[in-house]
Amino acid sequence: MRKKNCRGTERKSTTKKFSAESVAKRLLEVFSEEQIDETARQSGFMQRKRKLAPKALLIACISALGSGDAEWLADILRALNKLTGREIQYKPFHNQLSKEKFPEFLRRVLEQSLSKLAVPNLESIPDEKLSAFKDIIVHDGTSLTLKDELADVWPGRFTKKAPAAIELHVTMSVFENNPLSITLTADKEAERVNGPRPEDLGGCLVLEDRGYQSREFFGGMIAAGSSFIIRGTKDIRPTILRAYDTNGRRCRRLRRLEGKKLNWRTLPRETVDLDIQWGSGSTVYNGRLVAFYLPGKRNKKNYTYLHTNLDRGTFSAEEIGMLYRLRWQIELMFKEWKSYANLCCFDTIKAPIAEGLIWVSLITATLKRSLAHFAQHYLGVELSTDRVAKSARLYLDDILKAILRLRPSPSVVRTIRAAFSFLGTNARRAHPNRDRHKGRLSFGVQPIGVENCQRS
């Protein structure tokens, strides 16, 4: 199976306030003609300089995918001709996109974007419980169907409905609110082998879905010094060592459940906090499992199992559930990619074009998220990445034109200032106070660079 990885270099947290000049410098580090040409050469995409330069092609792709609905390759060509003021014909344009090294060139540009443009967006509140973790890591995947003719290159799981499909396996930092690494594989590949390794997660809190319920994975996380909350399935039958109810201030022992096998049918109609023993011999795992009860007609769906190694004395069952809801941030990011970065199936049966445009979509989404974070630092107000992404047609092309035409640095800086001013007025978070009580900021995190952000 073909597998493509994109991983940004390790970044140190910083809380400095970004100026328009420093943002312009970062953008030009990634999108300068010298940098893009060097990346194109190293990837094998550009053998010699042609009229259709890699930088112009890249900027046009970002413009078409980031500023509107691009359904056809011709939409990108029109953006290219508009930005460059030229009349490039479809055939030479298509020939460039069809090159075998086109996706590798763009994958490397995305890697540089993740490394140089992503900045810390959230941080734990000092002396709060989450200050014990250096980051909160979320991993999940999202699928994308392709043309059926690409089934030999990218085979899908559902051979009748979607014979050709890819899966993006994404590891996300909650504090940076951006991906740390992205792996592109055929949709039929297993999820866990493409996830983060326990040894790379020391000191972090890791939130995973049911695909990571594994005694070996739990043991690896504990050995690496990581904390985790991982959703479980209802088909496991560990032995209950201790059971506590979660009603009231004190945890009351439920001795009638202890010593028995876990079974959702015999659990009380309430949330219970359990110590379990799962497996035997060398693969035995002793850990904590919280079974959350949701009222309704009694069946499997009434319960949600969450495995964790967080201490019961520090993190209550209710707090475990609140923390796990931070996983929703990666789902919001996936929605943003597909809604506002044109992560979709283009009308092509050329594998390099199909894969390359996926990487361009991710470059576009990363750029817009980073601009949102830079603007938040610059303005000192909370911004919505969703609003920043959906309004890109009103500011993104101005920035791209300034970068493409190699204007003097002051012109790029003025364009960035104007964009930030627009976002400060039109892309603020709708309910920042509600976020602190019910949303993503409700459990010990706060936005960086925002004044008066402490919860009341």
Query: What phi and psi values does residue 215 have, to the nearest 5 degrees?
Result: -60, -40
pLDDT of residue 11: 46
Strands 122-124 and 445-447, by their bridges, are antiparallel
Helix, strand, or coil (residue 445): strand
**Cβ burial 84-111 (10 Å sphere, 16+ → b, else e):** beeebeeeebeebbebebbbbbbbbbbb
End-to-end CA distance of the chain: 52
User: Do 174 and 189 form a contact (C-beta atoms < 8 A)?
Assistant: no
**Secondary structure of 412-439 in HEC code, one letter for each residue:** HHHHHHHHHHHHHHHCECCCHHHHHHCC
Q: Give the Cα separation of 292 and 322 in Å (integer).
A: 12
> How many CB atoms neighbour CB 259 within 10 A?
11
Name the token pair of 119. Answer: 């900045």
Task: Name residues whose C-beta falls within 8 Å of residue 181's C-beta, 6 or more positions apart in sequence.
Answer: 5, 6, 7, 8, 114, 170, 171, 196
Confidence of residue 384 (pLDDT cuts 50, 70, 90): very high
What is the rounded distance in angstroms from the CA atom of residue 43 to the CA atom of residue 38?
9
Average pLDDT, the chain: 89
| CB hemisphere CA count around 69 (13 angstroms) | 2
- Stretch 169-195: mean pLDDT: 92
Is pLDDT above 90 for 264?
no
Query: pTM, whole model, 2 decimals?
Result: 0.91
250-264 average pLDDT score: 88
**pLDDT attached to residue 406:** 57
Phi, psi of 166 (to 5 degrees): -120, 160
Residues 74-128 have pLDDT tens digits of 999 999 999 888 899 999 999 999 999 999 999 999 999 999 998 888 999 888 8
Q: How sure is the predictor about 233, in pLDDT bands with cuts at 50, 70 and 90?
A: very high
pLDDT per residue as tens digits for the range 1-16: 456 677 665 544 445 5
Tokens of 118: 């992503």
Residue 455: pLDDT band (50, 70, 90) is very low
Is residue 408's pLDDT more than 60? Answer: no
